[in-house]
């Protein structure tokens, strides 16, 4: 795996230039926040750095994408390629082609199963957010926190920890957040963007989710399987689906939940668990990955077929 230390990573970042920071497709707060923070840190070091994402940045995260941090097209020449919060090449979406015959110079990741091709990597699978790793790396790079970096890192950490509610939130996670808050960022505004504000389309999508929800295996498995025409019928984008991932998980007695939605010529299956079930291992069977309590994979078929396969796979598991 070639998991390197912060000191070794700092040497790499100090010696190199021409950085392109890759975030994963269907972006969330952790990958965007980590990417923005790392670009700003590198620029503070006097480096040329930009970030890129295969998909549009969700509106709720658009406040981070200023000062030309993100570019729309992959530069023709990439001197140093960095991946943040990218567990596998498949997570890059339309940028997966970059890894054909090439490895990232360094990958920074916190997923339990991390297979993105990289010459070197920093993996902290017990950290709830990738942003925590960027925060710990900063002192080795000789860069001090400012409000711009702090708001990006707070977005990353608050997003992936569910507002510091999830079970693998560590004491160090709160200590990191405290340091970020001391810069004076408006953390309450960030949390409102992440967890409270929803578009009319997302409200329509949540209504549809409740109408399609089904329970299986004695109520231990909850599935929301959207029809294949959902994106056209409601006019939703990939990022809108993030608002429904918690709906089946919140039902009393549910251990594993799944939201299945059309994507491209197949479907995307987003898995969540509440207490003991390792959904990353389940996703791995289908070539996906993630964390113990949050993972996903792509299924070549229709939503109903993916739901049937999942129900069968989990027979006798509870």
Long-range contacts, 232-235 (Cβ 8 Å, 24+) = 234/201, 234/204, 234/205, 234/208, 235/201
pLDDT of residue 240: 85
pLDDT tens-place string over residues 29-81 = 999 999 999 999 999 999 999 999 999 999 999 999 999 999 999 998 899 99
pLDDT band at 22 (very low <50, low <70, confident <90, very high): very high
Dihedral over alpha carbons 279, 166, 122, 271 (to 10 degrees): 20
pLDDT of residue 231: 83
Q: What percent of the chain has a predicted confidence (pLDDT) above 90?
A: 80
Q: What is the pTM of this model?
A: 0.87
pLDDT of residue 236: 86
pLDDT of residue 62: 95
Tokens 């109520």 — which residue?
219
Report whether 243 contacts 285 (CB < 8 A): no
CATH number belonging to domain 6-195: 3.90.1640.10
Average pLDDT score over residue span 299-305? 93
CATH match for 200-313 among 3.40.309.10, 3.10.310.30, 3.30.70.270, 1.20.120.420: 3.10.310.30
Average pLDDT score, the chain:
94
Closest CA relative to residue 132, chosen from 75, 176, 163:
176
Flag the least confident range among 10-24, 26-40, 230-244.
230-244
- Residue 263: CA atoms inside 13 Å, Cβ hemisphere, count? 23
pLDDT tens-place string over residues 249-298 = 999 999 999 999 998 888 999 999 999 999 989 998 888 888 889 889 99
Domain edges within the chain: 6-195, 200-313
pLDDT of residue 290: 82
pLDDT of residue 133: 98
pLDDT at 1 over 80: no
């Amino acid at each position: 795996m070639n998991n390197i230390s912060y000191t070794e990573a700092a040497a790499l970042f100090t010696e190199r230039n021409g950085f392109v920071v890759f975030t994963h497709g269907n972006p969330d707060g952790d990958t965007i926040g980590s990417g923005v923070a790392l670009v700003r840190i590198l620029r503070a070091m006097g480096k040329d750095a930009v970030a890129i994402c295969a998909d549009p940045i969700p509106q709720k995260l658009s406040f981070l994408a200023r000062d030309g941090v993100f570019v729309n097209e992959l530069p023709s020449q990439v001197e140093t390629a960095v991946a943040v919060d990218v567990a596998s090449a498949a997570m890059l979406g339309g940028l997966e082609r970059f890894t054909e015959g090439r490895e990232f110079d360094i990958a920074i990741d916190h997923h339990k199963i991390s297979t993105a091709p990289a010459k070197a990597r920093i993996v902290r699978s017990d950290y709830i957010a990738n942003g925590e790793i960027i925060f710990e790396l900063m002192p080795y790079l000789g860069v001090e926190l400012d409000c711009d970096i702090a708001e990006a890192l707070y977005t990353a950490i608050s997003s992936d920890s569910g507002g510091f509610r999830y079970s693998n939130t560590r004491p160090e996670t709160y200590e990191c957040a405290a340091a970020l808050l001391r810069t004076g960022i408006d953390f309450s505004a960030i949390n409102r963007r992440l967890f409270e504000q929803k578009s009319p389309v997302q409200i329509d999508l949540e209504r549809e989710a409740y109408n399609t929800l089904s329970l299986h295996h004695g109520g231990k498995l909850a599935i929301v399987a959207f029809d294949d025409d959902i994106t056209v019928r409601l006019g939703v984008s990939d990022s809108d689906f993030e608002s429904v991932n918690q709906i089946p998980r919140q039902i009393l007695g549910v251990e594993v939940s799944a939201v299945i939605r059309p994507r491209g010529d197949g479907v995307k299956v987003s898995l969540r668990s509440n207490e003991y079930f390792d959904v990353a291992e389940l996703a791995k069977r289908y070539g996906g990955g993630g964390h113990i309590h949050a993972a996903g994979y792509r299924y070549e078929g229709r939503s109903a077929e993916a739901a049937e396969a999942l129900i069968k796979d989990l027979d006798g598991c509870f």
